[in-house]
Structure 1
Amino acid sequence: MRDRIIGAGFAALGATGLHRLAAPRLRGLGALLMLHHVRPRVARDFAPNAMLEITPDFLDAALTRLRALGYRILSLDDALAEVRAGGAAGAPPFAVLTFDDGYRDNLVHALPVLEKHRAPFTIYVTTGYAERTARLWWVELEEAIRRASRVEVRVGDDTLSLPAATAAEKRAAFKAVYWPLRAGGEDRLLAAVGELAAGQGVDRRALVEELCMDWREIEDLARHPLATVGAHTLTHPRLAKLDAAEMRTELGAARSILEDRLGRSVVHLAYPVGDPASAGRREFDAAATFGYASAVTTRPGLVHAEHAAHLTALPRVSVNGLWQDLRHLEVLLSGAAFALWNRGRKLNVA
């Protein structure tokens, strides 16, 4: 239902063209685009994490459309310099490409497209994935339910017993488990998913080895002239769910490890999950204390001059795998959808 409502909104704005009229007033200085996987499409009846992946062809088309719309594709450092200056006088809007987690397909499939367009980008690395010690719990959950004919899992004080024989049942089971676990604490989430995955024979280390870059690959990518490497914590937790000491360790140690491995300063951060329940004022202040020049959330929105005072609470535009349509991207870049989403506020930093 939610997807249908969003789709209807995109269609309505696209059909009327109102977003184009609103763009000069609403689009601000530019956009930080958020991406995860870039890989060829594989048809699957059960793909609950499909929103996290786009195809190389769509990335190619999106970069072409950005330039056709007059966007300048800037490095994160160059974009931040413009934000601090209040914008470049008379300059068209900017777009910054950011990739979360450190997936190998960013190197294999995204990089050739980025090189073709000479497009700088930032990749936020979770050090625990490079070291094979952190968990892709949402992938574990998907793989466990894919293998199961019935899902038995404890969520809080309740034990769920859900059918999972068909693709439709698996989709329903994933939602029934995922969202209640997301609402709870980090330890309970990891324990519940871990128990379910172990019961289905899912090798969680093997998932990380298959999907994520190792240190050699990260170090090679960091030397690329288009690349900027940022931090994405040690273990990819929802930081707001941790106590203060754990949260600070995740922010500080990740930066130190990356700087030691790469031999250069790491001054940009992405909060894992990044919604208001996962990163808020405490995390924004801590990022600044640790000397991060910027930190990005997953809160939806565009970048305005007012964000100069809130560089550790920056919004992004999700390039969502469920909406691989250039018309949808154009609507988002106009700012019209975010003006409605954020009730007219330019900032969402509380």
Structure 2
Amino acid sequence: MVVQPTTTPRLSRTDRWKRRVKTFGLRVLSSSGATRLIATRYGGRGIILMFHNFTQDPRRDLDQGCRIGDFERILAYLRKSGRDIVTLDEAQRRLKDPAGRRFAVLTFDDGYRSNIDLALPALERFEAPATIYVPTSMITRDINAWWLGLTVLFRDRERVDIEPMGARYSCPDLDSKIAGLRRALAWVWGDFRRAGMLGPTFARHGIDLPDLVERAAIDEAGMIAADRHPLIEIGAHTVSHRALSLLDDADVRTEMADNKLFLEERLQREVPHFAYPYGAPSISGAREPRIARETGFRSAVTTTPGCLFPEHVDSPFTLPRQNAEYTEDGAAYTACGMAGLFRALASRGGSPLAGLAGAAT
């Protein structure tokens, strides 16, 4: 593979301008009556919010994760808006009840230590439950946590060579590190088979993925202790956190069933809720929702933006879920998502029923 000349990645002036305009627009919309108007069609009965890692300083982590202050503002906004923060089981019950109060569900993907160290104290203050979706290999420390590897690669080095990309970067400052990481993440998201190509790059730079996972993720004892907390429920997230659409039927079934069994043996209870890794790249059609149902789950969440409607009772294996991580202003971003703004944009004014067969995308 031809390696390109060394470049210094930068966010273009246009990109910076677009981000500032986006943030300003989100703040205006979230504080005005516009979101209430959008919510009349797209707001639904409830919403599932998605988080991953939490941090005190997203820029230190190269614009990754949810600022814990934003998370606390989101919880305060939910309470102020009159929404109940409920479990996934309660959400499914409320969708069946025409008189059920509006609600929000909190979900955390991957099982980071920050879910307990930073987010749990906030959950306790607001008496808010949450589900943490945990892959088996995050606990066993053999996950290909390529996203952690790329973050450390750019964070800790001024010169970054990624041979599979044919890229050679000079990243002397924080902005260039952030821009370089975004390019590398987008490269993997363009084809998830590329995630398996990064091992030699990490090895050459001295990056030990199991060590990164050990520092970033809860261990087995921590997972069990978290599940025993009255506000925390552990959910399933496959064995290896691969994009399921790339796998054959047998491997998809193994990814779901073995993860479910692993968690149930350790937690000594049923694990009824599941999250698709990466969302859309794990769903090739009807196959994955069918296997999730046959495996014994009662719900499966995607990353398709949208709110929950009574119609989702009959389609619990492709539930929409709103990303709540936006480092410029996570609270404003989430308020707009709760109104259904991002579903309205994604569907171009089409159906609000994300994840349902026959609904406009």
> Normalising by the residue count of structure 1, what TM-score does the alignment of the two structures yield?
0.89
Distance 1:333 1:42 in 2: 23
Distance 2:101 2:41 in 1: 13
Residue pair 2:305, 2:342 contacting (<8 A) in 1 also: no
Residue pair 2:62, 2:155 contacting (<8 A) in 1 also: no
Match of 2:82 in 1: 70
**Is the alpha carbon distance of 1:63 and 1:166 closer, same or farther for their aligned partners in structure 2, counting shifts above 3 Å?**
closer
Match of 2:34 in 1: 18
Please give the secondary structure, in 2, of the residue aligned with 1:298: coil
Match of 1:47 among 62, 75, 78: 62
Distance 1:324 1:26 in 2: 22
Distance 1:348 1:23 in 2: 14
Distance 2:321 2:283 in 1: 14
Match of 1:245 in 2: 250
Match of 2:53 in 1: 37
Q: Comparing 106-115 with 2-11, which one deviates more in the overlay?
A: 2-11
Cα offsets for 1:233-264 (capped at 9, x unmatched): 11111111222222211111000110111110
Residue pair 1:30, 1:302 contacting (<8 A) in 2 also: yes
Paired AA for residue 26 in structure 1: Y
Distance 1:76 1:138 in 2: 28
Match of 2:5 in 1: none
Paired AA for residue 116 in structure 1: R
Gaps of 5+ in 2: 1-14
Residue pair 2:46, 2:104 contacting (<8 A) in 1 also: yes
Paired AA for residue 115 in structure 1: E
Residue pair 1:143, 1:197 contacting (<8 A) in 2 also: no
Residue pair 1:288, 1:312 contacting (<8 A) in 2 also: yes
Q: Comparing 25-34 with 164-173, which one deviates more in the overlay?
A: 164-173
> Normalising by the residue count of structure 2, what TM-score does the alignment of the two structures yield?
0.87
Paired AA for residue 20 in structure 1: R
**1:131 CA displacement:** 1.1
Match of 1:176 in 2: 183
Please give the secondary structure, in 2, of the residue aligned with 1:300: coil
**1:11 CA displacement:** 4.1
Instruction: Note if 1:165 corresponds to 2:172.
Output: yes
Cα offsets for 1:119-139 (capped at 9, x unmatched): 111111111111111132101
Match of 1:112 among 116, 121, 146: 121
**Is the alpha carbon distance of 1:111 and 1:14 closer, same or farther for their aligned partners in structure 2, counting shifts above 3 Å?**
closer
Distance 1:242 1:33 in 2: 27
Within a 5 Å distance, the mapping from 1:169-248 to structure 2 comes to 169-186=176-193, 188-192=194-198, 194-248=199-253
Residue pair 1:147, 1:200 contacting (<8 A) in 2 also: no
Distance 1:162 1:113 in 2: 39
Taking only the aligned residue pairs, the percentage that are identical comes to 34
Q: Comparing 13-22 with 106-115, which one deviates more in the overlay?
A: 13-22
Paired AA for residue 169 in structure 1: S
**Is the alpha carbon distance of 1:3 and 1:290 closer, same or farther for their aligned partners in structure 2, counting shifts above 3 Å?**
farther
Distance 1:4 1:58 in 2: 18
Residue pair 1:54, 1:324 contacting (<8 A) in 2 also: no
Residue pair 2:139, 2:220 contacting (<8 A) in 1 also: yes
Distance 2:179 2:197 in 1: 21
Please give the secondary structure, in 2, of the residue aligned with 1:265: coil
